């Protein structure tokens, strides 16, 4: 048995020896290796196409609804209309059910303003004649509205808007408002602008329909919610700029002809940066007095493949430009350089945030601020 | 045949069938360790291994490796000699051996810049057993070629036009892999003077060249482009040995031997893979090159050995292979299917000496039972980085054959130091050393115990 233990010991020692390896590679011998001079390099490619595109924005079931009207000298006449429905409250005192309902208030909390910061904006509060479904509903949805319940107005400085519904309407809907089937019998309101120069956003987490019945007060929370947007008139954009705007789904699609740059073809992509430059100054300077025009701060970059879009990431506006880089962008550029086309083009659209915030992007015709891709590749020696 | 006498005497001490389990255990251990050893990153050898199919390797036996690496005519009951299947006819014990190799390479260029690289690998397995008194069978596994190099260059990118950042990079060109040879064959002793043998060789493996670019900092992705060439094919070797005992004295044996290896066609496939790096999965692009074949030339080797008094063994050997006839559908460094080839005919010559003070006496002191070996070889490489410029390798070898506690079992240590190439004409001079160790087991199998 002695030799066996010794042999095993030797085996283990020799194996440990075989695993040990150290290295100090250097430039010695590099002249013998073809391709050692093919070092990584970066090339800048300007967008070959850059054109307006659009997506259909889903505004149903959002956290905020917009309502209002603004005639923007740069972006046209924009109107947004809000729709709200309410569900029964979770905890209703027994006395509430016996009635009668003596008071109903629609309480709105503005949390967003676009347009005039001084004047008031008038609204019609209309009844909805039937149930509407907000799930998946888009900003271009058309819904018929019923009779006007009341009119009201909002000032940009308001932090809480309380709309007292008329006694006649309350009396007419007494049984519905305190009944157990309120959620299905009541179909909600349309908030329709009637002139004005401001679009407001309302925080739906704090919006309620307050009903007082038999001395008991109950707040009905928002159930279905939707807002729609429409534009008339023409855009008056600065030359060499395209509009990206939340709410309306305005975006830009663009592309690069990477393979026309011979230094890139066949290379291994180490980094791909897409840079889009924004004109934030024009949006600020070309606004009327006492006019707020918040600038869109975030966009979604997508690759358009056939008829579908694959999101490549969300990017924020910094120092007047979007600098977009990710592993997915590298993958797409790599495949295109390798002749494996997976994307027809790129597209940026607003991050949907229930606003109508705009952004102006420079086109390839803009000197110094043309959209570009900076691609760093390692030559493959092929 | 007196050269075998000591082994016969030794073998009488070994009758325990239970040792087979120990041997199998050690064998299985080595086999289990093999994949781990091969799995490590081993691209730390000579830059010249980038050329052709890599640096040609062989491991004829632990004994012969320390005697210059040649031994076409060496008969042994203790070692399996893979250079010539005719040597397998003379066997008494079932034998198994396995070994590892550790090597260091110091490369020097004309500017006296130096790089040092070391590696360790599992070297070879050998297994053999007799069938009767005239036939022996052997199986072996040894490296055929090895690709193992790495050079790098670093630099910096100019400031990015968008981000304004500056990043440093390191470009690594590295190669790994190689071809292996699995040998199986039989030797047959026709009479007391002549033995013949034949074997089949399966040559297979993957040659991989890669470009890896690493960056320091920034939002860069490493890139790893590898070109893998998978080859496999079969060839065979025919050999013969003539034994002339008592040539000059009563206790000497003179043998001459030769072996001829048939040309081989290896079928192959090549794939280029581009991935983020070699360690993590990512978006990988594969480009397959049309399948093709690689034609290896025939080879011949011949040698002579002289054994005197059971204590001295002198070996000389030569090898020739017309690699200038090499052809391939694939390109390799030094070979373009439609253009230039820097392949040359390979010539190898070696000589070695072994001294075993105790001879066949098993009761002599330990140091007298150790075999002391010395050798040297010259090799003109089959491929050169520059057309018309030969690449020469000259090396000295040495070794010890240490008897273990069981007769028939030895631990063999081998040492090698040599130089390859030159520093002029933009070449580099490799100074290399190798240390190998092998464990060699032997015992009787498939025989009943006799009751006494």
Q: pLDDT tens digits for B150-203?
A: 888 888 888 888 888 888 998 888 899 999 999 999 999 999 999 999 999 999
Q: Structure pTM? A: 0.72
Average confidence (pLDDT) over B353-382? 91
Averaged pLDDT score across all residues of chain A: 89
pLDDT of residue B385: 87
Q: Residue B414 in contact with residue B28, Cβ under 8 Å?
A: no
Residue numbers in A near B114 (CB within 8 A) = 26, 28
Q: Does the pLDDT at position A155 exceed 90? A: yes
The answer to whether the Cβ–Cβ distance between B37 and A15 falls below 8 Å is yes
pLDDT of residue A301: 96
User: How close is the nearest chain B Cα to the Cα of A369, in Å?
Assistant: 11
Residue A164: pLDDT band with limits 50, 70, 90: very high
| Ordered DSSP codes for B151-175 | EEEEEEPPPPTTT----EEEEEEEE
Using the structure block, give the residue that is written with the tokens 């439609």.
B338
Q: Does the pLDDT at position B48 exceed 80? A: yes
Give dist(CA A247, CA B351) in Å, integer: 87
Q: Residue A61 in contact with residue A141, Cβ under 8 Å?
A: no
From B407, which residue of chain A is nearest by alpha-carbon distance?
Answer: A3
The answer to whether the Cβ–Cβ distance between B427 and A32 falls below 8 Å is yes
A237 DSSP 8-state letter? P
Q: Which of A344-348, B146-150, B276-280, B294-298 has the lowest mean pLDDT?
A: B276-280
Of B41, B213, B405, the CB nearest to A40: B213
Residue numbers in B near A39 (CB within 8 A) = 153, 155, 169, 171
Direct distance between the N- and C-terminal alpha carbons of chain B, in angstroms, rounded to an integer: 30
Q: How open is the CA angle A231-A237-A240, to the nearest 5 degrees?
A: 135
Give dist(CA A39, CA A35) in Å, integer: 8
Give dist(CA A303, CA A256) in Å, integer: 12
pLDDT of residue A26: 59
Residues 6+ apart with CB under 8 A from B24: none
Q: Does the pLDDT at position B52 exceed 70? A: yes
Q: Where are the beta strands (DSSP E) in B309-362?
A: 312-321, 327-328, 346-355
H helical segments located in B321-390:
366-369
Give dist(CA B174, CA A270) in Å, integer: 19
The answer to whether the Cβ–Cβ distance between B100 and A14 falls below 8 Å is yes
Residue B16: pLDDT band with limits 50, 70, 90: very low
User: How close is the nearest chain A Cα to the Cα of B192, in Å?
Assistant: 35
User: How close is the nearest chain A Cα to the Cα of B361, in Å?
Assistant: 20
The answer to whether the Cβ–Cβ distance between A10 and B215 falls below 8 Å is no
Give dist(CA A32, CA B149) in Å, integer: 11
Average confidence (pLDDT) over A289-312? 92
Give dist(CA B58, CA B146) in Å, integer: 10
Give dist(CA A248, CA A355) in Å, integer: 9
Residue numbers in A near B274 (CB within 8 A) = 268, 334, 338, 380
Query: Mutate which of B153, B284, B366, B429 to test chain A, going by most A C-beta atoms within 10 A?
Result: B153
The answer to whether the Cβ–Cβ distance between B220 and A3 falls below 8 Å is no
Q: How far is CA B300 from CA B71, B240, B324, in A?
A: 13, 12, 15
Q: Residue A188 in contact with residue A224, Cβ under 8 Å?
A: yes
Residue A168: pLDDT band with limits 50, 70, 90: very high
pLDDT of residue A247: 94
User: How close is the nearest chain A Cα to the Cα of B152, in Å?
Assistant: 6
Of A4, A15, A29, the CB nearest to B151: A29
Residue B43: pLDDT band with limits 50, 70, 90: very low
Give dist(CA B285, CA B224) in Å, integer: 11
Other CB atoms closer than 10 Å to residue A103's CB: what's the count? 13
Give dist(CA A87, CA B90) in Å, integer: 98
Q: Residue B377 in contact with residue B68, Cβ under 8 Å?
A: yes
Query: Mutate which of A9, A23, A25, A340 to test chain B, going by most B C-beta atoms within 10 A?
Result: A25
User: How close is the nearest chain B Cα to the Cα of A345, in Å?
Assistant: 19
Give dist(CA B74, CA B83) in Å, integer: 9
Average confidence (pLDDT) over B48-67? 91
Average confidence (pLDDT) over A13-22? 51
Q: Residue B410 in contact with residue B370, Cβ under 8 Å?
A: no
Q: pLDDT tens digits for B301-347?
A: 999 999 998 899 999 999 999 999 999 999 998 999 988 899 999 99
- Which uninterrupted H or E stretch holds A119? none
Give dist(CA A72, CA A116) in Å, integer: 10
The tokens describing B7, both together, are: 């082994």
pLDDT of residue B200: 97
Residues 6+ apart with CB under 8 A from B37: A15, A18, A19, B100, B120, B121, B122
Number of inter-chain CB pairs under 8 A, A vs B: 207
Q: Does the pLDDT at position A20 exceed 70? A: no
Closest CA to A80 of A221, A237, A202: A202
| Ordered DSSP codes for B30-72 | HHHHHHHHHHS----S-GGGGBTT-EE-----HHHHTTTS--T
Direct distance between the N- and C-terminal alpha carbons of chain A, in angstroms, rounded to an integer: 59
The tokens describing B14, both together, are: 């070994």
Chain centre distance of CA B22: 26
Average confidence (pLDDT) over A139-149? 93
Q: Does the pLDDT at position B35 exceed 50? A: no
ipTM here: 0.71
Give dist(CA B328, CA B209) in Å, integer: 17
The answer to whether the Cβ–Cβ distance between B426 and A27 falls below 8 Å is no
Helices and strands, counts by H and E, chain B: 4, 20
Give dist(CA A202, CA B54) in Å, integer: 73
B448 DSSP 8-state letter? P
Q: pLDDT tens digits for A235-280?
A: 999 999 999 999 999 999 999 998 888 888 878 899 999 999 999 8
Phi, psi of B24 (to 5 degrees): -60, -40
Give dist(CA A320, CA A284) in Å, integer: 13
Give dist(CA A283, CA A197) in Å, integer: 17
Of A14, A19, A378, the CB nearest to B211: A378
Residue B114: pLDDT band with limits 50, 70, 90: confident
Let me know how long chain A is.
382
Q: Spell out the SS3 assignment of B375-443.
A: EEEEEECCECCCCCCCCEEEEEEEEEEEECCCCCCEEEEEEEEEEEECCCCCCCEEEEEEEEEEEEEEE
Q: pLDDT tens digits for A89-121?
A: 888 898 899 989 999 999 999 999 999 999 899
Averaged pLDDT score across all residues of chain B: 84
pLDDT of residue B174: 87
Give dist(CA A327, CA B288) in Å, integer: 24
The answer to whether the Cβ–Cβ distance between A374 and B161 falls below 8 Å is yes
Q: Residue B156 in contact with residue A376, Cβ under 8 Å?
A: no
Q: Does the pLDDT at position B34 exceed 50? A: no
Give dist(CA B77, CA B95) in Å, integer: 9
Closest CA to B199 of B212, B213, B188, B214: B188
Average confidence (pLDDT) over B95-102? 88
- Which uninterrupted H or E stretch holds B27? helix B19-39
Point out which residues pair with B371 in neighbouring strands: B401
From A274, which residue of chain B is nearest by alpha-carbon distance?
Answer: B162
From B215, which residue of chain A is nearest by alpha-carbon distance?
Answer: A270
Give dist(CA B389, CA B425) in Å, integer: 9
Closest CA to A347 of A318, A380, A324: A324
């Amino acid at each position: 048995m002695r030799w066996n233990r010794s042999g095993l010991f030797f085996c283990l020692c020799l194996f440990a020896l075989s695993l040990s390896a150290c290295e100090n590679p250097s430039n010695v011998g590099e002249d013998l290796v073809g391709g050692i001079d093919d070092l990584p390099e970066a090339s800048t490619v300007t967008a070959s196409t850059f054109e307006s595109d659009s997506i259909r924005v889903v505004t149903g079931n959002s956290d905020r609804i917009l309502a209002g009207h603004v005639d923007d000298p740069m972006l046209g006449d924009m109107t947004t209309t809000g729709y709200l429905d309410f569900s029964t409250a979770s905890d209703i005192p027994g006395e509430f059910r016996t009635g009668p309902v003596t008071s109903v208030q629609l309480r709105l909390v503005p949390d967003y303003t676009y347009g005039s910061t001084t004047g008031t904006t008038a609204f019609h509060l209309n009844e909805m004649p039937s149930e509407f479904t907000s799930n998946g509903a888009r900003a271009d949805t058309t819904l018929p509205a019923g009779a006007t319940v009341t009119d009201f107005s909002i000032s940009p400085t308001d932090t809480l808007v309380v709309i007292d519904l008329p006694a006649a309407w309350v009396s007419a809907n007494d049984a519905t408002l305190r009944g157990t089937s309120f959620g299905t019998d009541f179909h909600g309101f349309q908030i329709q602008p009637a002139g004005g120069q401001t679009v407001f956003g309302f925080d739906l987490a704090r919006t309620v329909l307050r009903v007082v019945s038999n001395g008991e007060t109950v707040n009905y929370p928002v159930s279905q919610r939707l807002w729609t947007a429409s534009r008339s008139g023409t855009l008056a954009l600065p030359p060499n700029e395209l509009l990206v705007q939340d709410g309306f789904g305005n975006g830009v699609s663009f592309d690069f002809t990477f393979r026309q740059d011979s230094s890139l073809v066949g290379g291994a992509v180490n980094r791909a940066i897409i840079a889009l430059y924004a004109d934030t100054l024009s949006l600020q300077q070309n606004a009327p007095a006492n006019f707020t025009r918040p600038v869109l701060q975030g966009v979604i970059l997508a690759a358009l493949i056939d008829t579908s879009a694959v999101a490549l990431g969300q990017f924020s506006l910094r120092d007047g430009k979007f600098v977009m880089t990710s592993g997915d962008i590298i993958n797409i550029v790599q495949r295109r350089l390798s002749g494996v086309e997976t994307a027809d083009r790129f597209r940026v659209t607003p991050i949907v945030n229930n606003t109508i915030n705009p952004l102006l992007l420079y086109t390839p015709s803009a000197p110094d601020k043309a959209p570009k891709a900076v691609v760093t590749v390692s030559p493959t020696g092929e | 045949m007196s050269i075998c006498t000591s082994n016969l005497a030794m073998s009488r001490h070994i009758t325990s069938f239970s040792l087979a389990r120990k041997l199998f255990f050690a064998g299985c251990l080595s086999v289990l360790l093999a994949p781990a050893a091969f799995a490590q990153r081993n691209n730390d050898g000579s830059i010249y291994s980038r050329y052709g199919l890599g640096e040609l390797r062989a491991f004829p036996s632990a004994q012969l490796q320390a005697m210059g690496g040649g031994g076409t005519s060496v008969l042994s009951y203790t070692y399996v000699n893979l250079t010539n299947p005719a040597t397998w006819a003379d066997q008494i014990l079932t034998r198994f051996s396995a070994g590892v190799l550790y090597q260091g390479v110091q490369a020097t260029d004309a500017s006296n810049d130096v790089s040092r690289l070391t590696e360790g690998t599992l070297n070879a397995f050998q297994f053999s057993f007799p069938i009767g008194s005239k036939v022996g069978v052997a199986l072996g596994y040894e490296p055929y070629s090895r690709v193992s190099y790495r050079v790098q260059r670093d630099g910096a990118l100019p400031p990015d036009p968008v981000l304004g950042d500056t990043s440093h990079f390191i470009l690594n060109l590295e190669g790994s892999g190689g071809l292996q040879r699995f040998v199986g064959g039989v030797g047959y002793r026709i009479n007391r003077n002549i033995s013949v043998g034949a074997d089949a060789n399966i040559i297979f493996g993957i040659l991989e060249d890669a470009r890896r670019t690493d960056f320091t900092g920034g939002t860069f992705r490493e890139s790893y482009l590898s070109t893998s060439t998978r080859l496999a094919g079969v060839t065979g070797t025919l050999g013969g040995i003539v034994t002339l005992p008592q040539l000059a004295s009563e206790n000497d044996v003179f043998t001459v031997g030769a072996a001829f290896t048939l040309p081989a066609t290896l079928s192959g496939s090549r794939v280029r893979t581009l991935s983020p790096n070699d360690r993590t999965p990512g978006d990988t692009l594969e480009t397959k090159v049309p399948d093709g074949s690689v034609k290896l030339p025939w080879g011949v080797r011949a040698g002579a050995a002289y054994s005197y008094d059971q204590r001295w063994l002198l070996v000389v050997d030569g090898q020739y292979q017309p690699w200038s006839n090499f052809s391939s559908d694939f390109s390799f460094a030094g070979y373009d299917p439609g253009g230039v080839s820097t392949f040359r005919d390979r010539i190898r010559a070696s000589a070695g000496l072994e001294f075993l003070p105790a001879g066949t006496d098993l009761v002599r002191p330990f140091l007298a039972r150790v075999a002391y070996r010395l050798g040297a070889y010259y090799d003109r490489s089959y491929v050169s980085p520059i057309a018309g410029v030969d690449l020469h390798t000259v090396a000295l070898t040495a070794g010890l054959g240490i008897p273990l506690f069981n007769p028939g079992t030895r631990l063999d240590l081998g040492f090698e130091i040599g130089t390859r190439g030159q520093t002029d004409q933009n070449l580099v001079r490799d100074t290399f050393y190798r240390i190998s160790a092998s464990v060699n087991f032997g015992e009787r199998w498939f025989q009943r115990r006799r009751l006494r």
